[in-house]
């Protein structure tokens, strides 16, 4: 088990009076439910991952192309390709493994959105860089009901990268000695990997939260609207 360092768990709270309004808001949102009791009572965990293709000028606009959601045991809840809502400029195939025929058989965006929102409602969402997934879906989720491996301070401390996001592939190999994305990114594989990584530190993660602290760094301010 990876243990939190002596200063890291309360770092954000000691800084709170001096940080931005955005940071204070995220901390307040994350801690609200913990002031009235354990946030995990009656909750269930799901793990979310998405893949995007490129739209817009030069293919620089990321557009949802696949969404995957698994339960605590890694069982598939949702795994579907999504029909594009704009012309695709780049399928980013070397990275995503996605080609035109995959999206031709996809579901409409609104259908995919309904599947995901109904599945995450009232759940604790596990993932890696969840702000990117929420942004691709156009949804917001309570900050207190997220467990983001990219932001978990003990993982960062273990890799001596306190101030930067470490990729999921690196986290999985360094912390679990498991290779993923060996050919290309697969959102279903990533969702399962995220859940396994979370479960490897779940006891410590939830213990810190139940003690009244928040063991994660802040997500990028640009994505504040992804958290309710």
Ranges 11-20, 114-123, 141-150, 184-193: which has the least confidence:
11-20
Q: Which residue has the higher pLDDT, 107 or 15?
A: 107
Centre a 10 Å sphere on the Cβ of residue 182 and count the other Cβ atoms it contains.
8
Enter the pTM of the model.
0.82
CA angle 153, 123, 146 (to 5 degrees): 20
pLDDT band, very low/low/confident/very high, at 41 (cuts 50, 70, 90) = very low
Q: What is the pLDDT of residues 87-142, one digit of tens each?
A: 999 999 999 999 999 999 999 999 999 999 999 999 999 999 999 999 999 999 99
* Cα(118)–Cα(115) distance, integer angstroms: 6
> What domains can you pick out in the chain, each with its CATH number?
11-18+45-219 (3.30.420.10)
* % the chain with pLDDT above 90: 79
Query: What pLDDT is attached to residue 24?
Result: 52
CB 161 within 8 A of CB 38: no
Helices H, strands E: what count in the chain?
Answer: 10, 6
Token digits of residue 128: 């890696």
Query: What pLDDT is attached to residue 43?
Result: 66
Contacts 24+ apart (CB under 8 A), 7-10: 8/153, 8/154, 8/157, 8/162, 8/215, 9/153, 9/208, 9/211, 9/213, 9/215, 10/213
Q: Token pair 């439910």 is at which residue? A: 33
Q: What is the pLDDT of residues 69-95, one digit of tens each?
A: 999 999 999 999 999 999 999 999 999
């Amino acid at each position: 088990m990876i243990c939190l360092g002596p200063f890291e768990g309360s770092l954000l709270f000691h800084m709170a009076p001096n940080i931005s309004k955005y940071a204070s808001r995220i901390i307040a949102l994350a801690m609200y439910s913990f002031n009235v009791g354990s946030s995990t009572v009656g909750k269930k965990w799901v793990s979310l991952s998405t893949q995007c293709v490129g739209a817009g000028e030069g293919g620089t606009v990321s557009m949802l192309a696949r969404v995957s959601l698994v339960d605590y045991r890694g069982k598939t809840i949702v795994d579907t390709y999504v029909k594009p809502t704009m012309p695709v400029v780049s399928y980013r195939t070397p990275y995503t493994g996605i080609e035109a025929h995959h999206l031709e058989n996809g579901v409409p965006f609104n259908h995919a959105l309904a599947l995901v929102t109904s599945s995450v409602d009232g759940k604790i969402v596990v993932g890696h860089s969840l702000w990117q997934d929420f942004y691709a879906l156009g949804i917001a989720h309570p900050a207190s009901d997220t467990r983001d491996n990219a932001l978990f301070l003990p993982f960062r401390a273990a890799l001596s990268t306190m101030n930067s996001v470490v990729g999921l592939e690196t986290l999985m190999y360094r912390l679990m000695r498991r290779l993923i994305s060996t050919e290309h990114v697969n959102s279903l594989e990533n969702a399962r990997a995220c859940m396994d990584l979370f479960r490897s530190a779940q006891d410590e993660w939830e213990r810190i939260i139940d003690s009244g602290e928040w063991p994660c760094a802040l997500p990028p301010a640009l994505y504040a609207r992804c958290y309710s």
